[in-house]
Chain A
Amino acid sequence: DAGVIQSPRHEVTEMGQEVTLRCKPISGHDYLFWYRQTMMRGLELLIYFNNNVPIDDSGMPEDRFSAKMPNASFSTLKIQPSEPRDSAVYFCASRGGPSGLTEAFFGQGTRLTVV
């Protein structure tokens, strides 16, 4: 397995534009997480899915952020409209296993810069 795959790796966009980040989890994993990493806040959990269903989106900062998981192999995180304070590295992670108490595997991340 190629691991968790995120795209794009880097995104530079202008304030007000829509940004879509993409994630392909490891095949067979039933949990998918979206994190945002900044120097000030560390790794913040934005939202997570179980079997494609959003379980907890309490970390989503504003209505400008939305996430979907239309099937087991694909998820998107969308920011519309984007703002400079959204600049961060966004990580997707997935995990699986019968007990759920297992390692989460991270993608390479998407470095977002909003100018």
Chain B
Amino acid sequence: GENVEQHPSTLSVQEGDSAVIKCTYSDSASNYFPWYKQELGKRPQLIIDIRSNVGEKKDQRIAVTLNKTAKHFSLHITETQPEDSAVYFCAATSGTYKYIFGTGTRLKVLA
């Protein structure tokens, strides 16, 4: 069945450094890849998404890249700040419109 793997499970970076989180998916029909941020005790919220006809998308300090051939996509956060500390989830969805999430990455930005 469909599967999304996410690495690393935890990530600590110094404030101002960059953070990279990687995901791979199994369903070659997947064509929409959102990233969600979940702060402690709160709901997951979308921070950026990418569709399969695009290789890269940026929004200020965050960017997502997609490699359809290799079936992987990555989240890049530059100039990290303490408020970036949270759990980040990647997801993939296809024509079935079923959202499958990765297992999450706990990002800690050290001041």
Contacts and interface: CB of A to CB of B under 8 A. Distances in A.
Residue from A33, A41, A102, A107 having most chain B Cβ neighbours under 10 A:
A102
Contact of A42 (B34, B89, B99): B89
B98 A42 contact: no
A65 B15 CA distance: 44
Contact of B104 (A43, A50, A100): A43
Nearest to B103: A42
Interface string B30-60: 0110100000001111100101000000000
A107 B102 CA distance: 19
A100 B101 CA distance: 16
Contact of A100 (B43, B46, B49, B97): B97
B86 interface: no
Contacts, number: 54
A42 B97 contact: no
Interface residues on B, range: 20 to 34
For the side of the interface on A, what is the size category? 20 to 34
A107 B23 CA distance: 25
Contacts of A109: 43
Interface of B: 1, 31-32, 34, 42-46, 49, 51, 89, 93, 95-104
What are the 9 closest A-B residue pairs judged by CB atoms, nearest first? Answer: A101-B32, A106-B43, A42-B103, A43-B101, A100-B97, A103-B46, A42-B104, A106-B44, A108-B43
Interface of A: 31, 33, 35, 41-43, 45, 48, 50, 55-56, 58, 91, 93, 95, 100-104, 106-109
Given A48-B99, A55-B96, 12 more contacts: A33-B99, A42-B89, A42-B103, A43-B44, A43-B89, A45-B99, A91-B43, A93-B99, A101-B51, A101-B93, A102-B32, A109-B43
